[in-house]
Amino acid sequence: MTKEKKSLIKKVNSKLTQSQVNRIISLSIILVVVASVIGISSSVFFQKKPDGFSELSLLMYNDLTEIFEANNYPIQIYSYENVSVYFMVKNFENSVKYYQLQIKVVELTQNVSSQQPISAISSFFLYANDTFEKILSPATNAEKKETGLFAGDYIWEPTELVLYLNSEVVSKLTSPNFLKIVFELWEFNTEKENFQYTGVFAFLELEY
Amino acid sequence: MKRYQKFILILCVFGITTIMHNQIPIVQGQAEQEASAAIQEADEKLTYVLELLEEISNYDEDIRNLILQTDDARQLIKEAKDNYASSNFTISYQKATGAILQLDSIIGEIDSKIQSKTQNKIIIFSLVGVLAGLGAIMFSFLFISKIYPWYEKKKIEEYSKLEINYNNSKGDMK
């Protein structure tokens, strides 16, 4: 068989393979159309929720301006004078949250972590007869962009806390003159059916 | 006879007082049990409502209202617990049953909302599936009726352009 003959057969063969290629292309187009329809519909209907967060703020009420501000925090607490602070929680998570605020008094040297809550051994609870709990809706995308708001379905409105010097607690503190009041945010876990630490906290260091 | 009547009357009064005295702790014990059971049931329902709410992907105005109602029910449960701790079992029971009723109504509303959303999803998915299928069928039909014959025609045209030259001296084909 000469070179020319071989090239002609190759030419004919290549033509035949091209038809197969065309079939493959058409099949691929069909597959791409079907896959893109499935892809688009799944991205519309099975949207993965992005990670959210919870916000805890400690605020003071300014009597002059009549607004809440994150400023002018108390630095001292006396047995004859209570101290008022306000806390506010915002739900920027992507689902409903059942929050609980726990208030603990610890030594000034006690480290506060977002990984572990302060243990009951090293802390003393304030407001043993009162609990601070609230169920909040998640913020919408528009609400997430808003700042400086103090009311809304996703906001636990500024709630007053009256801090007082508990002589029993003070007697247990070893560091003289200073104490730390820690505000820990907990959330209800429906699987475990109890409150779990969110890792969100705030604290005040006060002289007494 | 009159003397006996007096004696019987005193005995009756004493008997009724004794019965009443013994009955009060029993009634109180029952109220305590009922209040405790109602609080537990309300707590379980609250957890269930939260589970349902967590599954929801779109928190529209209706759902946000339901969340507010759930928080009201939580407050009722808290008051029921506070009253229970203060031994006000009747009030505690009333608060807990109030919370249960409220939570039952919330569960009903969430269920109907989830059901209607699932139905809508099924309809939309079915439509998308049918449209995708139709698209694929139409493309196949187009391919079979138009593209493939056009390709075959082109192929024949291409082949017709080929010339076969016989070289007699060598007997080879070009």
A61 phi and psi angles, rounded to 5 deg? -95, 125
Domain ranges of chain B: 2-173
- B54 closest CB neighbour out of A22, A33, A96: A96
Q: How many C-beta atoms surround the C-beta of residue A29 within 10 A?
A: 13
- B67 closest CB neighbour out of A5, A8, A96: A96
Between the alpha carbon of residue A93 and those of residues A88, A143, A154, the distances in Å are 15, 12, 10
Quick: pLDDT tens for B59-74. Answer: 989 999 999 999 999 9
Give the Cα separation of B83 and B77 in Å (integer). Answer: 10
Largest CA distance in chain A: 115
Taking 70 as the threshold, does the pLDDT of residue B10 lie above it?
yes
Quick: pLDDT tens for A31-52. Answer: 888 888 788 777 766 666 668 9
Chain B contact set for A28 (CB, 8 A)? none
Q: Can you give the pLDDT at residue B174? A: 46
Judged on CB neighbours under 10 Å (0-12, 13-18, 19+), B101 is middle
Q: How many C-beta atoms surround the C-beta of residue A188 within 10 A?
A: 20
Pairing of strands A83-91, A54-62: antiparallel
Note whether A95 contacts B54, CB cutoff 8 Å.
yes
Q: Can you give the pLDDT at residue A128? A: 46
Give the Cα separation of B37 and A195 in Å (integer). Answer: 22
Q: What is the ipTM of this complex?
A: 0.74
Q: Can you give the pLDDT at residue A11? A: 62
Q: Mean pLDDT score of chain A, rounded to an integer?
A: 83
Nearest CA-CA distance, residue A187 and chain B, Å: 12
Our measurement of the distance from residue B10's CA atom to the centroid of its chain's CA atoms, rounded to an integer in Å, reads: 63
Which residues in chain A show pLDDT less than 70? 1-19, 44-50, 122, 124-130
